[in-house]
Amino acid sequence: MTEPFWKTKRLEEMTPAEWESLCDGCGRCCLVKLEDEDSGEILTTSVVCALYDTEKGCCSDYGNRFSAMPDCINLKPENIATIRWLPATCAYRLLHEGRDLPPWHPLRSGDPATVREAGISIIDDVISEAAVDVDDLPAYIREWPRMGPPQPPLGQDREGEEEKNPRK
Ligand code: SF4
Ligand code: SF4
C-alpha cells in the first residue's frame, strides 16, 4: 500500500496543492491572541479575525488575506518553528515535529466535518473582532482544548526571526 504524501515528503518538498490540503480549516490560527508584556505568555481569546466567516468557518478573503489583513501569518516550511503559538493540533506543526496527522484530520477521515466533531474547529465558539472593542479583548481570554504548550523558544541559529501576529 502506498504511503500518503505527508509521510513520504518533507514539508518543503510538497506541491502547493499538498501544502494547502494539510490545513484542516480549524481556524485556530485566526484567533486573536494577546501577549502578557511582563511574562511573554501568549493568551488565546475566543475572538477571531474580522475576515473569518463565522457562518462558514473559513477565511472570507483567502486569496487576498495578506493584503487585506497584514497580521495574517504566511505559514511556510521555514517559519513554522518561529511561530510559537501555533496550535499543537495544527498539521504543519505536527509534521514539523515529526508526528502523524490525527485521525480526525480530513486527509485521514475523508470528511472535513470531523474537525468540528472532534472539537478542534473554532466555529461554534467565537465572536468576530469586528464586534468587540479592543479594550474588551482581555475579557475574552480562554483556553481551547488540545492547544498544547507553545513551541520551544527559537534556538540560537534562529535568533532574530520574528514571531508574527500576537497583539500586545
Ligand atoms: S491552525 Fe493550522 S490547521 Fe488550523 S487553520 Fe491554522 S494553519 Fe490550518
Ligand atoms: S485573514 Fe488570515 S487570520 Fe484572518 S481569517 Fe483570513 S486566514 Fe484567518
In this predicted model, what pLDDT tens digit does every residue of 19-68 receive, in sequence order? 999 999 999 999 999 999 898 889 999 999 999 999 999 999 999 999 99
Residue 124: is it exposed, middle or buried by C-beta count within 10 angstroms (0-12/13-18/19+)?
A: exposed
Pocket mutation for ligand 2, best pick of 69, 71, 127, 164 (most atoms within 8 Å of C-beta): 69
**Residue 86 alpha carbon, nearest atom of ligand 1:** 1
**Residue 92 alpha carbon, nearest atom of ligand 1:** 2
Q: For residue 106, is it within any domain? A: yes
Q: For residue 75, is it within any domain? A: yes
Å from CA of 118 to ligand 1 middle: 15
Q: For residue 28, is it within any domain? A: yes
Q: For residue 115, is it within any domain? A: yes
Lowest mean pLDDT among 54-68, 71-85, 86-100, 153-167: 153-167
Q: Tell me the pTM.
A: 0.89
Q: Is 30 in the pocket of ligand 2 (CB under 6 A)?
A: yes
Q: For residue 167, is it within any domain? A: no
Q: For residue 166, is it within any domain? A: no
**Structural domain containing residue 81:** 5-143
Number of structural domains found in the chain: 1
**Which ligand is the nearest neighbour of the Cα of 79?**
1
pLDDT tens-digit series, residues 126-138: 999 999 999 999 9
Whether 93 contacts 87, CB under 8 Å: yes
